[in-house]
Amino acid sequence: MSQATPQRLHLVFGGELVDPQRTEFKDVDAIHMVGIYPNYAEAYNAWKAEAQRTVDDAHTRYFIAHLHRLRDEEAAASATEELG
């Protein structure tokens, strides 16, 4: 019997920021939840589509959150994966 590959869920979300140099949302209730994806490649494609759609709005940014890391608090995250 083969071992199942661990699921690596990713959340893509974004919205208007208070300042484009920070990651503080202007209105948390207006955050756009794009979706949850089963792998990074699909999440990246969704992120890229939203980023391109809003490219003319410097205050709007989209992010990929690695949900599988939230389940494993022992896993280290790089600075680029932190939202603050």
Q: What is the pLDDT of residues 41-73, one digit of tens each?
A: 999 999 999 999 999 999 999 999 998 777 655
SS3 category, 2: coil
> Quick one: the chain helix, strand, coil %, rounded to 5?
30, 25, 45
Q: Is residue 58 part of a domain?
A: yes
- Say what the pLDDT of residue 78 is: 55
> Is residue 1, in this structure, part of any structural domain at all?
no
Overall domain count for the chain: 1
Instruction: Look up the domain containing 42 and give its range.
Output: 10-24+33-74
Name residue 17's beta-bridge partners.
25
CATH of the domain at 15: 3.30.70.2400
Residue 5: inside a domain, yes or no?
Answer: no
CA distance 4 to 63: 28
Specify the pLDDT at position 55: 92
pLDDT score, position 3: 65
pLDDT score recorded for residue 83: 46
Query: Per-residue pLDDT for 20 more than 50?
Result: yes
Instruction: Determine, yes or no, domain membership for 4.
Output: no
Tell me the pTM: 0.75
Does 19 fall in a domain?
Answer: yes
